[in-house]
Structure 1
């Protein structure tokens, strides 16, 4: 399926990482330029390199903290059903974020001042940190919003799966406890995905990715809850993060560690931990000890 812009999610995936890195580099570069110009106008009595150093050091450290922000947004997503639990965690994390930001930019400023043959003087710690934290907490949550909006767009572009719901009228057409199909929403359209077409499943944070014909459809669920609803004759757990469809398994490669490497029909290599390897071999009528 192609989008109205004429490109597919697969083509976007090829340059997605470059786009994400480039976006944050451009964002902080532009932000530093504008803030630097304002700082120069506000401090006309000091050499121009000093205001630019203040703003550039802040931008560089903030950019370095983006990976930690992405991790925090995945670890504690804020939704209507969990904001009371996760919002306090982000408030605590924002303090650590601000401490790292302030400490990092002060260190960079001192380094630049030493190179310029001068000394960077830091004011009283507590009042200065309080002032910086009031700015940082706003930046922290704006970055969270930007990450969440981008992730939401990617989900809609990629397609997101969900379990079939109980119909408003009449009995369900199939068992909702062991569904034969999943509902997939993509770019405002809906279609049904046959469970037997799922090649493998992978746990990813608060989602389980359903892999079908080279595509991943995120399903908001835990691996344990989805595994319990899959056909046990077809699907088997091989790792704490993976469930595979035996119809798409091509080869089991034993490893010296006691684990194994599974080759799927699409050439994907999936780890099989020692904990699940024996039960997998038994599914094919082979002794567990072999």
Structure 2
């Protein structure tokens, strides 16, 4: 259950992990600035809160940008065959992200300065934009690499299922019997008929087989089209089941029903999918 929860909110955990790193790093930068100035002089040339404002305003700007970076990686995978197109997409994105980061950072500083009856000046616009973009481009690249590394490690730990007959020159079959699972550098085969139930989880569908969970990068619609002739049925926007795993059906006052599987799992049968469920029952 912890794994499923983690997988369901994977993007949020990505953001949280990188956010903690950003805040810790910027805290160290702010305190280092204060310590260096204290070592060289008895009087600080700035107010004690200013280094923290400079660092934290930048950190907050990047934290707010992280979900968008994660979205960009999903929509335009970095390891794409169209290298030139991908390069310009990410180069353009780095400029947009930098401008957004600078805008958030500057307005946060202006707001805090205003609260202290002070005035914050960004400086010469052209020079400062170039100055900040240099740093932002490096940060942009770092966050992309950090997220990709995290996803790679996570995928190796969780494993991933794919159609066994899926190749570069083969179309997706609408009649698959087995799935190939890659996990921790090993590959093994599972039978589609052994799937008890499955659920949508972001960009994946989690396949539940004898207490184990195998994520498959697909959509509920695509998966059900491939395996419905094997006795599977979609019963909810997020759930599908193996009809052979059903032990009982209990109508509910809401108009929905509750399905119990032979492993004890209880799932909701939505009114929207009742007709499809009845058609599958007639085929058994």
Would you call these one fold, judging by a TM-score over 0.5?
A: yes
Structure 2 residue 34 is the aligned partner of structure 1 residue 34: no
Q: Tell me the CA shift for residue 15 of structure 1.
A: 7.3
Residues 262 and 124 of structure 1: is their aligned pair in 2 closer, same or farther, counting only changes over 3 Å? farther
Alignment of structure 1 residues 13-92 onto 2, 5 Å: 23-37=17-31, 39-40=33-34, 41=36, 45-81=45-81, 86-92=86-92
Q: Which runs of 5+ in 1 are unaligned?
A: 1-9, 168-175
- Normalised TM-score (structure 1): 0.72
For 2:145 and 2:175, locate their aligned partners in 1 and report how far apart those are by CA, in whole Å.
36
- Give the paired residue count: 266
Structure 2 residue 156 is the aligned partner of structure 1 residue 146: no
For 1:79 and 1:199, locate their aligned partners in 2 and report how far apart those are by CA, in whole Å.
34
Structure 2 residue 110 is the aligned partner of structure 1 residue 116: no
Q: Tell me the CA shift for residue 161 of structure 1.
A: 1.2
SS in 2 for 1:78: coil
Residues 13 and 123 of structure 1: is their aligned pair in 2 closer, same or farther, counting only changes over 3 Å? same
Residues 117 and 137 of structure 1: is their aligned pair in 2 closer, same or farther, counting only changes over 3 Å? same
1:28-72 per-position Cα deviation (integer Å, ceiling 9, x unaligned): 222102332455548963334322211111112322333333333
Structure 2 residue 189 is the aligned partner of structure 1 residue 195: no
Residues 217 and 126 of structure 1: is their aligned pair in 2 closer, same or farther, counting only changes over 3 Å? farther
CA contact (8 A) 1:54 1:109 kept: yes
Alignment of structure 1 residues 156-195 onto 2, 5 Å: 156-165=156-165, 178-195=175-192
Extract structure 1 runs of 4+ deviating beyond 6 A.
Answer: 14-19
For 2:94 and 2:265, locate their aligned partners in 1 and report how far apart those are by CA, in whole Å.
42
Alignment of structure 1 residues 207-218 onto 2, 5 Å: 207-218=204-215
Residues 50 and 149 of structure 1: is their aligned pair in 2 closer, same or farther, counting only changes over 3 Å? same
SS in 2 for 1:193: strand
Greater percentage in helix: 2
For 2:90 and 2:258, locate their aligned partners in 1 and report how far apart those are by CA, in whole Å.
39
Residues 197 and 82 of structure 1: is their aligned pair in 2 closer, same or farther, counting only changes over 3 Å? farther
CA contact (8 A) 1:203 1:209 kept: yes
Residues 78 and 212 of structure 1: is their aligned pair in 2 closer, same or farther, counting only changes over 3 Å? farther
Residues 106 and 161 of structure 1: is their aligned pair in 2 closer, same or farther, counting only changes over 3 Å? same
Structure 2 residue 101 is the aligned partner of structure 1 residue 101: yes
Residues 153 and 110 of structure 1: is their aligned pair in 2 closer, same or farther, counting only changes over 3 Å? same
SS in 1 for 2:227: coil
SS in 1 for 2:226: coil
CA contact (8 A) 1:39 1:52 kept: no
- Normalised TM-score (structure 2): 0.73
SS in 2 for 1:155: helix
